[in-house]
C-alpha cells in the first residue's frame, strides 16, 4: 500500500460520493483518470502493479493498493475489499489487460462494484485484433486489407497479395514481445523486407497481422471517444486528430488537437451499434491520402484513453458522465464538444519527436514552438500534482539524451 492508505477507512466507509477505483494507475490513462475524477470531489482509490512508476506518485488518490492488475491477484484483492465499502464503487480499468481481467471475472465482482461493459464475448471481439478484423471484414466495415499470419506459409501467401508499403503488427503484445522491443507496428516497403521482418519478429509471438499501409500525414489520423448507454446510444462524444507522434513512423500521438470530423463520428457510432456495445468506446481512423476513404485502424473499449484529459479540459465532462450514469445520477450538462482548439501534449515524447525531426531538418524550432502554442492539457504536468511530472523527467533524461534513442529507428530490438 501507499502512504495514503492511512485514509482507507474513511474512503471506504465515510464518503459522501461512492469511490472510483482506478485500476492500472501505473499508466498515463490511470494518472489522467485519477486526476479528472478527483477534480469532481470523487474519492479515488488507485490499484497498480508497479509502485515505482511515476504515475503512482500522484496525490489524486486517497488510497493506492498494489497487485498484479492482469491476473488473479487483482480479483482476490477486489473480493477482499469489496464488502468494506458502504456504497458501491465505480470501476475504471485503464489498460486492455485490466479490462479483460475484470470482464472475465465480473460474476465474482458485480455484487460489490459497478462494472460498465457489455458481455465478455463483445469485449473480446473488439479487443482481440484477430477476431475484430475477421468480424469487421464480414460486417463490411472499412478496414485495410488484412491477413492473419500463423505460419511462414501464411506470410509467403500474404506477401504476394499485399501492396507495398505494408504494416506488420502483433494482435497483442505479450511479455515475450515487450521484453525484446517497444514497437507496436512495423512498416515494410517491399516483399523482401516484409518477409525479413516476419522472420525476425514471429519468434516472440504466435500470430501477426499484416495490413495495407494507409498513406497520409499525421493530420489524417482521427480518434473518436464515446460513452454509450445500454442501447448503444452515445451519451457523450469527443473527436480529435493527431499532429505528431513518437515513434516517428508507427508510434502513438504525442501532440493532438480536438477536431471535428462528422464522418468519423458516424462510423464510430455505427461500429459500436453493430456490436451492441455499451460503456467506454474509442475508435482510431485514418483518411487514405490517395483514395480519401476513412479506414479503421483499431478500436479500444472498456477504458479511458489519453484523450479523456483533453475532453475534460475542453469543457466536456467525459468520464464524469460515465460515473453519473453508473450511479443513476443526473447526467452533467457539459456533454457537447464546442471545438475550442484545445490540444493535448505528452511533454517528454513530443520533445523526443521534435529533437528527432530537428536533427533531420524536417522541423524548425519555430515550427515546433508554433505547433505547441495554444490552450493545452498535459499528459504529465499538473500544477496540483507535480511529483509525477518531475519523477517522469528524472526517469526519462537518459533516453532523451541518448543518441541511440534519438536515432529514429522504430524497430530497435534485441
DSSP codes of every residue in 69-117: TTSHHHHHHHHHHGGG-SSPPEEEE-SHHHHHHHHHTHHHHTTTSB---
Average pLDDT over residues 357-377: 96
pLDDT the model gives residue 398? 76
The predicted pLDDT at position 410 comes to: 55
CB-based contact 204:180 (threshold 8 Å): yes
Compute how many other C-beta atoms are within 10 angstroms of the C-beta atom of residue 378. Answer: 17
Provide the 10 A C-beta neighbour count for residue 138. Answer: 8
What is the H or E stretch that residue 414 is in? Answer: none
pLDDT at 174: 84
**pLDDT single digits (tens) 16-30:** 899 999 999 999 999
Rounded to 5 degrees, φ, ψ at 23 are -100, 125
Is the confidence at residue 11, as pLDDT, over 90? no
Q: Round to whole Å and give the CA distance between 48 and 70.
A: 10
Confidence of residue 383 (pLDDT cuts 50, 70, 90): very high
**Per-residue pLDDT averaged across 122-145, rounded?**
95
Alpha-carbon distances of 255 from 49, 72, 80, 247, 349, rounded to whole Å = 27, 36, 41, 12, 9
Q: What was the pLDDT predicted at 91?
A: 99
- Band (pLDDT 50/70/90 cuts) for residue 87 is very high
111, 88 contact by CB (below 8 A): no
Q: What is the mean pLDDT of residues 146-164?
A: 96
Q: Which three cell numbers stand for residue 391?
A: 519523477
Whether residue 236 is predicted with pLDDT greater than 90 in this model: the reply is yes
Q: Comparing C-alpha atoms, which of 192, 26, 160, 41 is closest to residue 93?
A: 26
Q: Could you tell me where in the chain the CATH 3.30.470.20 domains are found?
A: 218-397
| Block residue for cell numbers 512495423 | 186
CA pair distance 239, 260, nearest whole angstrom:
6
Contact call for residues 48 and 69 (beta carbons, < 8 A): yes
pLDDT of residue 406: 53
Q: Which fold has domain 145-212?
A: Dna Ligase; domain 1 (3.30.1490)
Q: Looking at residue 60, what DSSP letter applies?
A: S
Q: How is the beta sheet containing 186-188 ordered, strand by strand?
A: 146-149, 208-212, 166-169, 186-188
Q: Where in the sequence of the chain do the CATH 3.40.50.720 domains occur?
A: 20-116
- What confidence score (pLDDT) does residue 308 get? 93
Confirm if 274 and 139 have CB atoms less than 8 A apart.
yes
Distance CA 342, CA 351 (A): 19
pLDDT for the residue 16: 81
* 3-state secondary structure (DSSP) of residue 284: strand
d(CA 217, CA 248) in angstroms, rounded, equals 11
Who wins on pLDDT, 178 or 24?
24
CATH architecture under which domain 218-397 falls? 2-Layer Sandwich (3.30)
**Segments of the chain assigned to CATH 3.30.1490:** 145-212
Largest distance between two CA atoms of the chain: 64
Distance, CA of 113 to CA of 361 (rounded, Å): 53
In the CATH scheme, what architecture does the domain 20-116 have? 3-Layer(aba) Sandwich (3.40)
Confidence at 173, pLDDT banded by 50, 70, 90? confident
The predicted structure's pLDDT at residue 401: 66
Mean pLDDT of the chain: 93
pLDDT for residue 400 = 65
157 pLDDT band, cuts 50/70/90, is very high
Lookup result for grid cell 482521427: 222
78 or 7: which leads in pLDDT = 78
Q: What's the pLDDT score for residue 2? A: 41
Quickly tell me which residue has 500500500 as its cell: 1
Question: Which of 131-135, 170-174, 236-240 is least confident?
Answer: 170-174
From the list 264, 282, 259, 262, the residue with the least C-alpha distance to 272 is 282
Say whether pLDDT at 42 is over 70. Answer: yes
Q: How far is 242 from 244, CA to CA, in rounded Å? A: 6
User: pLDDT grade, residue 178 (50/70/90)?
Assistant: confident
Which segment of 2-6, 137-141, 274-278, 325-329 scores lowest on mean pLDDT? 2-6
Look at residue 95 and tell me whether its pLDDT is greater than 60.
Answer: yes
Q: What's the pLDDT at 182?
A: 81
Which of 60, 52, 407 is CA-nearest to residue 246?
Answer: 407
Q: Is the pLDDT of residue 403 over 90?
A: no
Question: Rounded to an integer, what distance in angstroms lies between the CA atom of residue 382 and that of residue 34?
Answer: 12
Q: Give the mean model confidence (pLDDT) for residues 368-389.
A: 97
**And the C-alpha cell for 291?**
483514395
Range 142-171 average pLDDT: 96
pLDDT band, very low/low/confident/very high, at 7 (cuts 50, 70, 90) = very low
**pLDDT score, position 20:** 98
Q: How confident is the model at residue 414 (pLDDT cuts 50, 70, 90)?
A: very low
Amino acid at each position: 500500500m501507499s502512504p495514503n492508505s492511512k485514509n482507507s477507512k474513511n474512503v471506504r466507509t465515510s464518503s459522501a460520493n461512492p469511490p472510483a477505483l482506478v485500476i492500472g494507475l501505473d499508466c498515463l490513462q490511470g494518472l489522467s483518470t485519477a486526476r479528472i475524477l478527483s477534480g469532481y470531489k470523487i474519492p479515488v482509490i488507485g490499484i497498480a502493479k508497479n509502485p515505482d512508476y511515476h504515475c503512482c506518485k500522484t496525490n489524486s488518490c486517497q488510497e493506492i493498493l498494489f497487485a498484479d492488475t492482469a491476473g488473479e491477484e487483482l480479483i482476490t484483492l477486489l473480493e477482499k475489499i469489496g464488502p468494506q465499502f458502504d456504497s458501491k464503487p465505480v470501476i475504471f480499468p485503464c489498460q486492455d489487460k485490466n479490462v479483460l481481467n475484470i470482464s472475465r471475472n465480473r460474476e465474482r465482482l458485480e455484487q460489490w462494484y459497478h462494472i460498465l461493459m457489455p458481455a465478455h464475448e463483445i469485449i473480446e471481439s473488439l479487443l482481440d485484433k484477430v477476431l475484430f478484423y475477421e468480424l469487421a471484414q464480414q460486417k463490411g466495415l472499412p478496414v485495410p486489407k488484412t491477413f492473419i499470419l500463423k505460419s511462414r506459409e501464411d506470410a509467403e501467401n500474404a506477401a504476394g497479395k499485399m501492396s507495398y508499403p505494408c504494416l506488420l503488427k502483433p494482435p497483442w503484445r505479450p511479455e515475450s514481445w515487450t521484453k525484446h522491443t517497444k514497437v507496436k507496428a512495423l512498416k515494410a516497403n517491399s516483399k523482401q523486407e516484409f518477409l525479413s521482418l516476419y522472420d525476425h519478429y514471429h519468434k516472440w509471438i504466435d500470430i501477426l497481422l499484416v495490413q495495407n499501409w494507409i498513406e497520409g500525414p499525421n493530420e489524417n489520423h482521427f480518434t473518436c471517444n464515446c460513452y454509450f448507454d445500454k442501447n448503444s446510444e452515445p451519451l457523450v462524444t469527443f473527436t480529435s486528430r493527431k499532429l505528431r507522434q513518437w515513434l516517428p513512423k508507427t508510434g502513438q500521438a504525442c501532440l493532438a488537437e480536438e477536431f471535428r470530423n462528422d464522418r468519423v463520428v458516424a462510423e464510430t457510432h455505427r461500429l459500436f451499434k453493430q456490436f451492441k456495445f455499451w460503456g467506454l468506446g474509442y475508435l482510431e481512423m485514418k483518411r487514405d491520402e490517395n483514395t480519401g476513404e476513412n479506414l479503421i485502424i483499431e478500436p479500444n473499449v472498456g477504458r479511458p484513453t489519453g484523450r479523456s484529459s483533453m475532453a475534460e479540459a475542453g469543457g466536456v465532462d467525459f468520464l464524469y458522465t460515465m460515473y453519473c450514469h453508473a450511479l443513476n445520477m443526473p447526467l452533467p450538462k457539459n456533454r457537447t464538444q464546442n471545438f475550442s482548439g484545445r490540444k493535448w501534449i505528452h511533454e517528454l515524447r513530443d520533445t523526443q519527436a521534435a529533437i528527432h525531426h530537428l536533427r533531420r531538418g524536417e522541423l524548425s524550432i519555430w515550427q515546433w514552438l508554433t505547433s505547441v502554442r495554444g490552450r493545452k492539457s498535459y499528459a504529465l504536468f499538473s500544477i496540483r500534482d507535480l511529483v509525477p511530472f518531475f519523477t517522469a523527467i528524472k526517469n526519462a533524461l537518459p533516453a532523451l539524451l541518448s543518441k541511440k534513442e534519438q536515432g529514429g529507428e522504430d524497430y530497435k530490438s534485441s
